[in-house]
């Protein structure tokens, strides 16, 4: 589920969502009659964080740990089940051909052997490309889910921080050394509190299943001469 690209996307989306929340709050405040018209175009300041406490939140975990995020990612997994089955069939066919090459290469004529190797190479390329395309499509739709949930979750994070005296909140979605955060104690973690508030606000019930969606990535073909399909992006 996680990937470097998704994490970078979420980091940018957090800034955008919080900025949008600040601008919305600013727009709701009546402007002074004497204020110049040009002031309407002035960028809104970031939400005021006057507290002194430091908190931590796993944004990615909060998004996909919420009832809405879980529901949507599970639905995405079901949507991709036919594609996973299709890729598994292609992989099984490749594995069968490679097994045939291993067991019969000494018995096949030179032309038959060359034809079989060419067939394997062609099918391998098609399979690798199909896996890559499926993973990219899955990742794009996963990001759409994350963005949709985050747009509604960001104001909750800001409001919670303001009401509970937090002046700094760090994102622990990425482990060290991918992020500068070496560790964060459980007492600092606000993820569950934010998720609980979001679930209450969204009204989405908890999914009945606990299976997490995974990008299409069937088991690579094995056997002599097997070439592994493109690995999922990290």
Domain boundaries, the chain: 4-23+44-202
pLDDT digits 0-9 by tens, 53-109: 999 999 999 999 999 999 999 999 999 999 999 999 999 999 999 999 999 988 999
- Largest Cα–Cα distance of the chain, in whole Å? 93
Q: Which residues have CB under 8 Å from 233's CB, separation 6+?
A: 3, 4, 5, 135, 139
48 vs 173, residue with greater confidence: 173
Phi-psi region of 165 (alpha: psi -120 to 50; beta: other; left: phi over 0): left
- pLDDT over 70, % of the chain: 68
Alpha-carbon distance 57 to 55, whole Å?
7
Nearest to 72, CA basis, from 173, 143, 135, 137: 143
pLDDT of residue 2: 42
3-state secondary structure of 20: helix
Q: Which residues pair with 171 in a beta bridge?
A: 57
Rounded to the nearest 10 degrees, what angle do helices 191-202 and 67-79 cross at? 80
In the beta sheet, which residues pair with residue 169? 55
Residue 156: CB partners within 8 Å, gap ≥ 6? 194, 197, 198, 201
pTM for this entry:
0.68
Q: Any residues with CB less than 8 A from the CB of 207 and at least 6 apart, and which?
A: 67, 70, 71, 74
What confidence score (pLDDT) does residue 47 get?
Answer: 58
Alpha helix ranges (H) inside the chain: 4-27, 59-65, 67-79, 81-104, 110-163, 191-202
Mean pLDDT score, 11-37: 46
Residue 198 pLDDT > 90, yes or no?
A: yes
């Amino acid at each position: 589920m996680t990937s470097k690209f998704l994490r970078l996307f979420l980091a940018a989306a957090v800034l955008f969502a919080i900025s949008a929340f600040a601008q919305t709050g600013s727009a709701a405040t009546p402007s002074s009659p004497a204020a110049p018209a040009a002031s309407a175009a002035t960028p809104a300041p970031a939400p005021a964080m006057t507290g002194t406490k430091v908190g931590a939140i796993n944004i990615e975990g909060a998004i996909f740990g919420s009832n809405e995020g879980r529901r949507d990612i599970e639905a995405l997994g079901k949507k991709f089940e036919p594609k996973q089955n299709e890729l598994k069939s292609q992989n099984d066919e490749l594995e069968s051909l490679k097994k045939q090459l291993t067991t019969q290469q000494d018995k096949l004529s030179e032309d038959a052997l060359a034809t079989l190797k060419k067939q394997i190479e062609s099918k391998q390329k098609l399979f690798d490309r199909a896996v890559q395309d499926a993973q990219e499509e899955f990742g794009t739709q996963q990001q759409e889910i994350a963005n949709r949930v985050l747009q509604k979750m960001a104001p909750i994070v800001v409001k919670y921080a303001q009401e509970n005296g937090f002046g700094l909140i760090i994102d622990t979605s990425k482990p060290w050394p991918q992020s500068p955060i070496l560790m964060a104690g459980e007492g600092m973690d606000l993820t569950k509190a934010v998720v609980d508030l979001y679930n209450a606000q969204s009204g989405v019930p908890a999914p009945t299943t606990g299976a997490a969606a995974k990008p299409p990535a069937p088991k690579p073909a094995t056997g002599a001469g097997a070439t592994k399909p493109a690995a999922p992006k990290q």
